[in-house]
Amino acid sequence: MSRGRWRDMAAEELQQQYSPSRWARRLRGDAAVRAHIEAVTAGTQRARAGTRSSLHVPYGEADGERLDLYFPAEPSETFPAFVYIHGGYWQCLRGIYLCGHSAGAHLAAMVLCTDWTEFGVVPDIRGAVLVSGLYDLEPILHTYVNDALNMSWEVAQRNSPMLCITQAVPAAAACEVLVAVAQHDSPEFRRQSQEYSQALRSAGWSVSLLDLATVDHFDIIEKLSEDTYILIQVILNMIARG
């Protein structure tokens, strides 16, 4: 399915393609979203109970600009930072590893295409895990999602990772990118993941595509709380190589 294929879709089909809850295996609609929130909330509570943490650390002035920091159980002078960005259609010094889900994967991808020289810094981003993400925002303009976002075409173009991929410089080439997609994601989500990974590879980035069987848009990330989950193993191996 080519990048322009979505233009041929009827409005209802496009709405369905970009509504992950309609593709969930276990539940449908709002029930799938509620179950996902319950699952990730329970995982967060387990993490807080089992590790040392510093919660709601501000990184900006707005109420929503907060970070939750979790530290390893064993004291160490050096350890990698793993940054997770949650999804929700943007409404909801050590080596750094990014991980984003859905709209969070879009934000992590935007970090990869940022020209950091403008800010006088070169962050040591060694890996990025992009899970069931959106990399071309133009189709979103024609769905219910844009009712709240009110994006213009220009804003969608400027903020589409697919359209701002740069040729990998040595620092970027050393960053390992994993694009993961669920078997039961919608065809449009799957297409975007496949085409974005191909575009990164063509630009010289170190990238791999992981197509995860049996999972959908929600449990692909919920299962990160399971030690034996293949995506957890891939992430730990990535960090070990870095």
Strands (E), 183-222: 206-212
d(CA 210, CA 78): 29
Which one-letter DSSP state was computed for residue 60?
S
Q: Is 86 a catalytic residue?
A: no
Q: Is 185 a catalytic residue?
A: yes
Q: Is 106 a catalytic residue?
A: no
d(CA 5, CA 91): 27
d(CA 165, CA 162): 6
Q: Where does residue 127 rank: exposed (0-12), middle (13-18), buried (19+ CB within 10 A)? A: buried
Nearest partner of 138 among 124, 117, 118, 152, judged by Cα? 152
Task: Write down the catalytic residue from 36, 101, 106, 217.
Answer: 217
Q: Chain-centre distance of CA 5, in angstroms?
A: 23
Task: Write down the catalytic residue from 136, 184, 185, 197.
Answer: 185
Task: Write down the catalytic residue from 21, 36, 102, 197.
Answer: 102
Task: Please identify every residue annotated as catalytic.
Answer: 102, 185, 217
